[in-house]
Structure 1
Amino acid sequence: MSKTALVTLGLVSVLSSSVFAEENKVPEPTANGIAFPVNYQDWDIVSVSHREDHKSVRAIIGNKIAVEAVEKGQTNPWPDGAALGKLVWKARHDEHWKPAVVPGEFIHAEFMFKDAEKWKDTAGWGWARWLGTEQKPFGKDAASAHSSCIACHTPVKNQDWVFTKPAILPKRIR
């Protein structure tokens, strides 16, 4: 089994359980006014990633509009209404299977919401991040909440500011 498959299996099992310490408490909106997407658990996995430089594993999820865009190959640009989420954990090696890289401590949840008109000053995306299991909103003000995201995503501005390459999945059975 490949490392990616192992990470995917680990992430899916973690996603099926509650990640947050306080259940049923909606985190505060970010400084730029973005509300926490309370229904993100119903989103589908779009991809997974393992950042060696950051020593983290990530599940990248998308709302229905984002998943349909992936299925149609319409992700550059992403359609308005698409939302992508990234759930990030420190990477660790499984104590029972040392070659397996699995999620450890939860770091943060970050989301991108596409609305070319609403977010025209921030590359058409509303950027938001909540830190730790407490889901503390990131950023002291609207500018700081967006600026660090945009600075990081600048290398992929020609990919509509999105790093994620959707994973190839079997056709959906409906």
Structure 2
Amino acid sequence: MNDDKPDSVVNTLQQAEGGVTMVSEWVSCLDKRPCDRTGEDLDVIYSKLKDIKVFEKFHPMLLQQICYYGYYEDLEKGITLFRQGDIGTNWYTVLSGSLEVQISETGRAQDTVTLCTLGPGTSFGESILTNRPRHATVITRDYTELIRIEQKDFKILWE
């Protein structure tokens, strides 16, 4: 496993025969477009997500919908998910790692203040329901794993 990916809540990379690295099955299923996922893909995703602490208290029906609509993302340190003022397009749940939430009242980088840190089990991005601009900039503090749901799909979950 890559040493740059500490505390990975999911074993996204596994050593295959001959030392070749391959993506784990459930991540491969989440990388497919929802319309291309089979019932078997959804079962594989569900069996993994239900055992992750973040999702333990989710109603089974909601978790099944997350399996259908969600995408897995793994991001290196220093990646900006979105900037203050952007119109939101995704909702996220943190599986592992951490992110900084930063704001700037002037819009200048030198005036940025860190409001808080988001860690495993945290979800964010609900402003996509109202199409309002993001109130803050969110940046990965270290290697971070997320489940991402696109706006159109997140609205379906809330109906």
TM bucket normalised to smaller = under 0.3
Structure with the larger helix share: 2
TM-score, length basis structure 2: 0.28
Q: Could you say which structure has the greater relative contact order, defined with CA pairs below 8 angstroms and 6 or more residues apart?
A: 2
